[in-house]
């Protein structure tokens, strides 16, 4: 499904070149739960951004369903982001003026899905992530774990094949972090959705089908 081939990514800070990835290759198949670990600055977020079509490699190729992201138009990239991929962030990134229900519904509004279908899909997911009682609550009135559950439901609502999660448990206490991991694993097994997440969290190891370790922009494992 995803093939990362010899990917190099440099950023520029003024004229100074910052190497973020220095030749990384990996593959992700269907229904896989894949972790990327490594110290701060090792390139984890950069790799997720490239696979998420949020940025392009300096060299090398990211192939999604056999197509190189380098060759896709901006429009084709946005279609992939909206239909094929889901995103979960460390800081949840919910829209504060929308309720839990409305946050989850939002990606479907962008896709022009009918009101009755939206209602059915949002309610199913609210149940799946255990937030039926909180559908009308705004993010400010939810706990960290509840916010991340909303974010997971929002990422899943478009039925993506791959969810990219950048340190999804970093802002959660350890018990809540474990609950969120259990939930993601359950969804992955039930729906066949693949997850790729970056993490510093040692609890993740027993959940992952595969753990990659980045150091200074290179995979060491
Ligand atoms: N937009 C940017 N402009 C310039 N340099 C950047 C940019 N984004 C990342 N970098 C640099 O690229 C390298 C890799 O950063 P990245 O954010 O991918 O690391 P990370 O493994 O996600 O770290 P953390 O665990 O702290 O989130 C770092 O040296 C970082 O300073
Ligand atoms: Mg990061």
The pLDDT confidence band at residue 135, using thresholds 50, 70 and 90, is very high
Contacts of 214 (CB under 8 A, 6+ apart): 24, 36, 37, 38, 42, 43, 44, 47, 220
- How far, in Å, is the centroid of ligand 1 from the Cα of 174? 25
Ligand at minimal distance from the CA of 49 is: 1
2-219: in CATH 3.30.1330.50? no
Residue in 53, 86, 32, 81 with CA at minimum distance from that of residue 210? 32
- How far, in Å, is the centroid of ligand 1 from the Cα of 56? 15
Q: Where are the domains of the chain?
A: 2-219
Ligand 1 atom closest to the CA of 42, numbered from 1: 21
Of 11, 15, 217, the one to substitute when testing ligand 1's pocket (max ligand atoms within 8 A of C-beta) is 11
Give the pLDDT confidence of 16-32 residue by residue, as tens digits.
999 999 999 999 999 99
- How far, in Å, is the centroid of ligand 2 from the Cα of 49? 10
Contacts of 154 (CB under 8 A, 6+ apart): 86, 94, 103, 104, 106, 107
Give the pLDDT confidence of 140-189 residue by residue, as tens digits.
999 999 999 999 999 999 999 999 999 999 988 999 999 999 999 999 99
Rounded Cα gap, residues 83 and 61, in angstroms: 21
């Amino acid at each position: 499904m995803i093939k990362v081939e010899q990917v190099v990514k440099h950023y520029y800070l003024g004229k100074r070149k910052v190497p973020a990835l220095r030749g990384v290759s990996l593959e992700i198949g269907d229904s896989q739960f894949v972790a990327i670990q490594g110290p701060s600055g090792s390139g984890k977020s950069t790799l997720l951004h490239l696979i998420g079509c949020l940025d392009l490699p300096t060299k090398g190729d990211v192939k999604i369903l056999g197509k190189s992201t380098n060759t896709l138009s901006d429009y084709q990239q946005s279609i992939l982001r909206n239909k094929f991929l889901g995103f979960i962030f460390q800081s949840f990134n919910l829209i504060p003026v929308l309720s839990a229900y409305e946050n989850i519904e939002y990606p479907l509004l962008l896709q022009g899905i009918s009101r009755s279908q939206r209602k059915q899909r949002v309610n199913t997911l609210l149940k799946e992530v255990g937030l039926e009682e909180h559908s009308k609550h705004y993010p400010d009135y939810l706990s960290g774990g509840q916010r991340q559950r909303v974010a997971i439901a929002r990422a899943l609502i478009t039925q993506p094949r791959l969810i990219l999660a950048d340190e999804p448990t970093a802002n959660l206490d350890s018990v809540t972090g474990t609950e969120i991991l259990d939930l993601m694993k359950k969804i992955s097994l039930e729906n066949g959705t693949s997850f790729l997440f970056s993490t510093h969290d040692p609890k993740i190891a027993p959940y992952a089908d595969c753990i990659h370790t980045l150091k200074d922009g290179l995979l060491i494992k």
